[in-house]
Structure 1
């Protein structure tokens, strides 16, 4: 089997696993857990984790996910999903250089505009008050793009761009007021998460230790 995906699904490894399922790829999944989730990641009986020498030999950054694919070692979830979509083609992949640029733009936009802010709100309290106005603004931008694109971000169809952005927007699902203010985003995320490939990935994720 050529493709190996490293990382538990309770991490950003959910993104390449979801995409692999969308594409019908055969792959080997190696569940590397984040070291910070373990009481002693260096213990002799500790599971394979992001501090383990065996994994650091693959990704010296000590982050998940990583992949190995026909001799290529690649890190960073967005780079991985964009690569796999480009390599294997089909409706999820960009059809031309313009769609490729848009998919890259939206993926980077989600990481730089939403991800950190949405994750920080999980602390509650002042973090929510601090980040909520900015998230409202970016959700409005996303809603406008979805309306203009017929409900999707690129090419009027579900693509790797939607998958990447949906996996970031998911972090904000604990703030229903954001989605109530932007029904276009709410309905789009529901459509993304209703896809059989997402549901299959999510079932595997839920089966992992919390």
Structure 2
């Protein structure tokens, strides 16, 4: 059987003739038909894209103690705490120093990142007086001074820039604003104002 297929070009106007014998299927072109969309079942309570939790992702290992230039053994271990409101996140860590004395966590161990108000004893242990100021306090190792650059062991009684000092004690009930006192951080004669809070008052008074 002779089968002829004619193909005309739109541009050259040529004819292609194919002669063959035998039965067969002849395809002149293929038209691609889009597949029918697959219908998925609706699951309003289902969630997708969730990853399984990894308990070891935020796990920190304590490294072995290492010696510093002073010859003491040191260990540092950070404590990961999630951030709170407005992105506030505390930075707390556990540290060990073989040269340190007894700390909050034992001999040589301490917690860093926590502020503390302590009595400054660099000029001796003060004798408590209920009527006048005799104690000197420090916040994280920095000296806290009263209004007018007042210190218990010496006091500028004229102005902050005066070189005249006196040892006259200041009354505890003076320079109060709303029954509170204002303290300052002493940093190389650059005083940063620090307003006391109820916790600060309880710590100092108690």
Structure 1-normalised TM-score? 0.20
- Comparing both structures, which one devotes a greater share of its residues to helix? 1
Q: Which has the higher contact order (CA 8 A, sep 6+)?
A: 1
- Comparing both structures, which one devotes a greater share of its residues to strand? 2
* Greater Rg over alpha carbons, structure: 2
Structure 2-normalised TM-score? 0.21
